[in-house]
Amino acid sequence: MLPRLGLVVLAAAAAAGENHALLIASSNGFQNYRHQADVGHAYQMLTLGGFKAENIVTFMYNDVANHKMNPVPGKLFNRAAKSLEEANDVYAEVKDHIDYQWTDLTGANILAALTGDAGAVNNTGNSTGRVLKSGAEDNVFVYFADHGGQGFVCTPDGGFACSAEIHAQDLLDAFKTMQKKKMYKTMVVYVEACYSGSMFKKILPKNMGIYAVTPTNSDIPSLASCCGEDAKIGDAKIYECLGDMWSTNWLQYDDTTDLTSVTLDTQYKVAKNLTTESPSQQFGDLSITSEDVNLFQGAGNTLSGKARKNNYTCAIPQSGLVRDMMLEHLRGLQMRAGSEEERSNYAAQVAAELQHRKEADALFAALQARLLPQGLAPALALEPKPVCWKAAHTAVKAHCGPYSEYSLKHSSVVAAACNLRDDAAAIEAVVKDVCANNH
């Protein structure tokens, strides 16, 4: 029998609970290198910082590290470096612990994993089917990196970029399910996506024990970092953006900081001050910001040796780069093509992308003319309408096709229409009519 002191210590440890995490890099394609590097870095930080691997559920499309375009095969980097020796490979720890990839990386599976619903997982052979198994005394950290629009974030669901969405209403419903099932004591949620503030602003209640952070508000895109000529490891040029600015700011801070004595509020302010091109936001239960970061993200101080001393800095990219990522990706491939046939092929893809943008601009201009009073910009100044948003965005997908990485910037049109009239059926009727006449 254990002595009384031993029983007390065990009881205290049980009461303290454990740390659990859900990490999601939902985009695909080599041009979206940064999202998978962000999440690979997060996994590395958690596990080297003391998280149990069995308490982390990871989603990653997993098509970048071994992509034919990757000049450093089998590795991912979230930050540029002067040499491979000084670089921090963020794929090494996560590569054998990716629970959902390829066709199993779906919005439905993300929500099932988040709510601990193993029976709802659709496993086509590319996942472990693992879900969060956290309890009432546990701390949960959720980190999502992908594209987003007004009131939703994207998932590929077997297609490309934004073939499907997780809407603000879906996420709120999932949080309510988790609360009902007593799946957490405290939960911290980071969402790295354009317009990500729209997922929580006046939507996430302050009394659910959930604290959410985003790199931007409802109206401004988030920004990538280490792009173009800066995206290199020694002499190896990756060309695609290596990370998202806000994400790399808090991840690099965690790498070199003792997180056992740093609060979430301190970390938030550091990352916010470094993220100069978009306004970082906080939502939900802000009392949680007084908690130490290690309760959700490990002990920190995870880098050592030359990787820790790597001081390579990247220029701040132009704010318009986010929406031009696909176009710049294709133009770069065209410029670097090794044969005339390849150049011609990429030139055709550039032309197709430009034509898509022209058609998307025309389509949403027509929607705006029908849905919004003349002269009214599609800004989200009114109260959020997450139920209507979901229905309206679903109507766009059904009648016009899914949002693309470019057309996401126009998602504010139907979101603003919901704010004005909150009549999803009427909005869908207009969307159906306009899309029928513009396709």
Residue 154 in contact with residue 26, Cβ under 8 Å?
yes
The torsion angles phi and psi of 438, rounded to 5 degrees, stand at -120, 15
Kindly tell me the sign of the dihedral angle through the C-alpha atoms of 418, 423, 424, 427: negative
Decide if 166 contacts 107 (C-beta within 8 A): yes
Cβ contact 39:24 at 8 Å: yes
Q: Exactly one of 20, 35, 41, 147 is catalytic; which is it? A: 147
- C-alpha span between 341 and 68 (Å, rounded): 18
With residues binned 3-state (H G I as helix, E B as strand, rest as coil), the percentages for the chain, rounded to 5, are: 45, 15, 40
Alpha helices in 53-167 (DSSP H): 107-114
Distance CA 226, CA 316 (A): 8
3-state secondary structure of 412: helix
DSSP 280: -
Could you tell me the two tokens for 252? 């690099």
Among all chains, which residue has been given the structure tokens 């024990």? 209
Rounded CA separation 25/172 (Å): 20
Where would I find the beta strands (DSSP E) of 193-247?
A: 210-214, 224-225, 228-233, 236-239, 243-244
Q: For residue 147, indicate whether it is catalytic.
A: yes
Whether 111 contacts 121, CB under 8 Å: no
Active site residues: 147
